[in-house]
Amino acid sequence: MTAVVPGALDTDTRPAPDAVGARTVRAARRGRRALLRRPTFLVSVAILLGWVALAVGWHAFGLQPFAKTGGLLQPPSGAHWFGTDSLGRDVFARVAAGARPALLIGPFGAALATVLGGTLGLLAGYHRGWVDTALMRFFDVLLALPSLIFLVVLVGAFGVSTPALILIVGVLFAPGIARIVRATVLVEMGKSYVQAARLQGESAFRAMLTELLPNVVGVFVIQAVLSLGAAIFITASLSFLGLGSQPPAADWGLDINANRAYLQAAWWTVVFPGVAVASIVVSANLIADNLKEVTG
Amino acid sequence: MTEPLVRVEGLTVAYRGVRVVDDVSFTIEPGGSYGLVGESGSGKSTVAGTLTASLDPDATVSATTITVDGSDVVALRREALRRFRRDVVAVVHQEPGLALNPTMTVGRQVAEVLRARGSGRADAEAATVQAFTRVGLPTPETVGVRYPHELSGGQQQRVAIAMALVARPRLLVLDEPTTGLDSTVEAGIMALIDELRTELGFATLLISHNLPLVAAHCDRVGVLRRGVLVEEGSATRVLLAPSDPYTVQLVEALPDITAGKPAGRPAADESAADEPAAQRAPDVLVTVRGLRKEYEGQAALDGVDLDLHRGEVLGVVGESGSGKTTFGRALAGLVGYDGTIAVAGGGGHGVGRDPRRTPPVQVVFQNADASLNPRRTVRQVLGRAIRLLHGAGSAEELAARVGLAADVLDRRPAQLSGGQKQRVAIARAFAGPVPLVVCDEPTSALDVSVQARILDLVLDLQRTTGTTCVFISHDLAVVRRVADRIAVFEAGRIVDLAPAERVFDDGTHPRTRALVEAAFDLRRRAGLTGRVATA
């Protein structure tokens, strides 16, 4: 007989010291607070929210992006903060109004890409085998195509309507997201909790939804924000190429193209829309970076 | 020798005001071997970190004296610290797979140490081959071009030791050097370290939760508990005549190789529980015939035939790579296989069977950390298990049955201790009337004192529910405590299958005898079997 008396060594039946529990809760809260203490995160969120506000309510500010409100190609002044373009329209009003098309296709396209890519990545990582192989080889093909040229072809085929552009952006960005989600899922599948759930008779659908998804949702959020920046950039590129909004619509890519000729004489007509695109793309990336660092 | 190599007096280490090491004092003579024993979180690794001057920057260290080879470790800065780490101490870490750089051949990694000490390229290469020869690696001339992942765990640890020793340190710190290695590999590694110590004259500090291991390989032993050195003395004294109650508990909690399954505790199913399974008319639950499984052309299972009787506990032992884990996974239906596994009552097994029936097989995994979803509370896990396994009662009752306090129910795995997590995993497996539970090394990741009680819990649940149990372990002492019959695996086959007592008393197959010998040897050297026999 061994000399073991059940319960004699009372180190583990006793609940874990409260310090342990409190520590994890505190760590989570500290993560959130740390996010709010990061200047790059706060500034980026403020910039994004500012653009959203302009996209939704630029009418309310009495801006007139389409009317001739001053002289031609006037440099920035008190009356026209960003100067005027070759038709005498206020560049500030046009940049503000241009937030609307940029924030229409980009976010919806990114959301579609995240849902589509995330689902396919989850399926591929969960089932592995031929499902995984088939999906991943197909994505490899999509990713091998130069995205802008591929996009131009698709736009040529399906037209430049907003729903078509959202769909195209969504399909274009989905493979990259699917790959990253799949990789994360594979790491989680290496842990035995999903197997344990399946052994208990949990259906594949429930195992994916209730066991896996909560553990990979952080990756979803980060990828969504990252693809938001990329989607806005690519839609601006499309309208620059004349494959998006048409004149006289206020659109950053369109304006940059229209005013290219005046770059030397009237830099403000090109620089301000360009800065607008850059500010959104950089903000989205910084937000994603901060999320990544905090969630670790 | 008048001056000790390591002198620690009144060492206290705190992280953000929390003391993890509290007033610890000990000395190590040059060429001596000192063992620090303690459970996880006892502060033993922090002590090692202090001696090698590699603690976190936010640790506050205070000590009356803390010198290694004459230098005050805490006061070392920059160049002096670099010289200290280069010339005086070396560390062999717990996970050789993580301690070695995966993108560099092992030869280059060892040579790098020599190059840092100023050797020329050719000299470094020659010395590397010499070091590999010394640590007993096969084909020392050519093993250097391999990458760490191409070596086995034992070989990786030998490389790590070679790397530590080419620097000719005065003090070698071994932080759980054999955890995760098989018992025969462990014996080899420890024998190598002992041999090299006598030969090269360095001192060792062995840190481990494994008391017999420490006692067998160290002159002096210190027992740490929550940062306090509760007992210190010569190895035999600490083991044979422990004075501190905690040490007494540790010694007593060791799974005892000479003790079989405790018999005759009152059980619900008395007719089944009180007589050994082998003597009853065999009521076969699972029939395994010609079971085969290949991984990339290598046979993990090579023709296994076995009948599992209803209500028995089958112990499965073998070295890693012998196929014992694959066997458990095949039984659970977690891997594909050739051959047949028939569970009485039909309905198929593993995933993808008829969802309306109770799943016939549950698994208690080795690593409770990974087998519990980090996002779910204990209550959610148990509640769901009861529903899916068609069990009776509530999550509270189930938790109480496995000895979990009610206030644990609303916690998530990260807020539980290792033992509590494994209790949750066991509760999940026994949540309903499941005919077969496969336990895959359920205690190997736990501290010794917790291990014993988890084993008792599994046995207790198995008896009260009459469940058939397959218990996989590399530790014969553990298996002997729980099993009615023992199957010994080697190279994917069952080489020995007999009632537990017979395997120990007159195991016929050489592999069985080697395993039994390895288990006995360690305990004999630690003076354990003698003590227990007379106790």
* Digit-coded pLDDT (tens) for A133-148: 999 999 999 888 888 8
Distance between CA atoms of residues A233 and A277, nearest Å: 7
Residue A124 predicted with pLDDT over 90: yes
Contacts by B377-382 with C-beta closer than 8 Å and gap 24+?
B377/B409, B377/B410, B377/B411, B377/B412, B378/B404, B378/B408, B378/B409, B378/B410, B378/B411, B378/B412, B378/B416, B378/B424, B379/B409, B379/B410, B381/B424, B381/B428, B382/B409, B382/B424, B382/B427, B382/B428, B382/B431
Give the containing element (helix H, strand E) for A90: none
Strand partners, B343: B286
Q: Average pLDDT, stretch A290-295?
A: 84
More confident residue, B504 or A170: A170
Domain annotation covers residue A109: yes
Residue A45 confidence (pLDDT): 93
Residue A281 predicted with pLDDT over 90: yes
B256·A2 Cβ contact <8 A: yes
CATH code, A142: 1.10.3720.10
Q: What are phi and psi of B412, to 5 degrees?
A: -100, 160
Check residue B290 and give left, alpha or beta (phi > 0: left; psi -120 to 50: alpha). left
Could you tell me the CA-to-CA distances from B99 to A156, B53, B86, B177, B182 in Å, in that order?
A: 55, 17, 17, 11, 19
Residues in B touching A20 (Cβ below 8 Å): 415, 417
Residue A108 predicted with pLDDT over 60: yes
Residue A174 predicted with pLDDT over 90: yes
Q: Are A257 and A249 in contact (CB under 8 A)?
A: no
**Best B18, B249, B343, B407 residue to mutate vs chain A (most A CBs within 10 Å):** B249
Lowest mean per-residue pLDDT among A98-107, A277-286, B297-306, B353-362: B353-362
More confident residue, B118 or B257: B118
Distance between CA atoms of residues B488 and B169, nearest Å: 41
pTM value?
A: 0.71
pLDDT > 70 fraction of chain B, expressed in percent and rounded? 87
Q: Average pLDDT, stretch B226-239?
A: 85
Specify the CATH number of the domain B1-88+169-252: 3.40.50.300
Write down the mean pLDDT value for chain B.
Answer: 82
Neighbours of A116 (CB within 10 A): 18
Residue B527 predicted with pLDDT over 70: no
The residue with tokens 């373009």 is: A85
Residue B74 predicted with pLDDT over 90: no
More confident residue, B527 or A116: A116
Domain annotation covers residue A105: yes
Domain containing A174: what range?
41-295
Model confidence pLDDT, tens digit, residues B454-469: 888 999 999 988 899 9
Instruction: Kindly identify which residue of chain A lies nearest to residue B400, measuring between CA atoms.
Output: A13
Could you tell me the CA-to-CA distances from B322 to B152, B292, B327, B517 in Å, in that order?
A: 14, 13, 10, 18
A192·B365 Cβ contact <8 A: yes
B384·A215 Cβ contact <8 A: no
**Best B209, B334, B371 residue to mutate vs chain A (most A CBs within 10 Å):** B371
Spatial CA neighbour of B26 closest among B207, B165, B289? B207
Number of domains in chain A: 1
Q: Average pLDDT, stretch B445-456?
A: 80
Residue A6 predicted with pLDDT over 70: no
Per-residue pLDDT band at A295 (split at 50, 70, 90): confident
Residue A26 predicted with pLDDT over 70: no
Distance between CA atoms of residues A198 and A17, nearest Å: 32
Domain annotation covers residue A104: yes
Residue A21 predicted with pLDDT over 50: no
* Burial (CB count <10 Å: 0-12, 13-18, 19+), residue B3: exposed
Q: Average pLDDT, stretch A6-20?
A: 40
Q: Average pLDDT, stretch B184-201?
A: 83
CATH topology of B1-88+169-252 equal to that of B283-534? yes
Tokens of B454: 């988890």
Q: Average pLDDT, stretch B428-433?
A: 90
Q: How many CA atoms lie within 13 A of A216 on its CB side?
A: 31
Residues in B touching A27 (Cβ below 8 Å): none
- Rounded to two decimals, the ipTM of the complex is 0.72
Per-residue pLDDT band at B354 (split at 50, 70, 90): low
Residue A183 predicted with pLDDT over 60: yes
Residue B522 predicted with pLDDT over 80: no
More confident residue, B381 or B117: B381
Residue B267 predicted with pLDDT over 50: no
Q: Are B9 and B66 in contact (CB under 8 A)?
A: yes
The residue with tokens 């039994």 is: B516
Lowest mean per-residue pLDDT among A28-32, A230-234, B176-180, B470-474: A28-32
- CA angle, corner B264, sides to B260 and B267, nearest 5? 125
Q: Average pLDDT, stretch B213-232?
A: 87
Give the nearest partner residue to A193 out of B259, B371, B456, using CB atoms. Answer: B371
> How far is Cα of residue B125 from the mean position of the Cα atoms in its chain?
35
Size of interface A-B (CB pairs under 8 A): 126
A192·B412 Cβ contact <8 A: no
Residue A46 confidence (pLDDT): 94
Residue A12 confidence (pLDDT): 43
Fold of B283-534: Rossmann fold (3.40.50)
Distance between CA atoms of residues A114 and A109, nearest Å: 9
Distance between CA atoms of residues A97 and A268, nearest Å: 16
Lowest mean per-residue pLDDT among A9-13, A257-261, B31-35, B453-457: A9-13
Model confidence pLDDT, tens digit, residues A70-94: 788 888 888 888 888 888 898 999 9
Lowest mean per-residue pLDDT among A183-187, B209-213, B402-406: B209-213
Residue B419 confidence (pLDDT): 85
Residue A5 confidence (pLDDT): 37
Tally: H helices and E strands in chain A: 11, 0
Residue A203 predicted with pLDDT over 80: yes
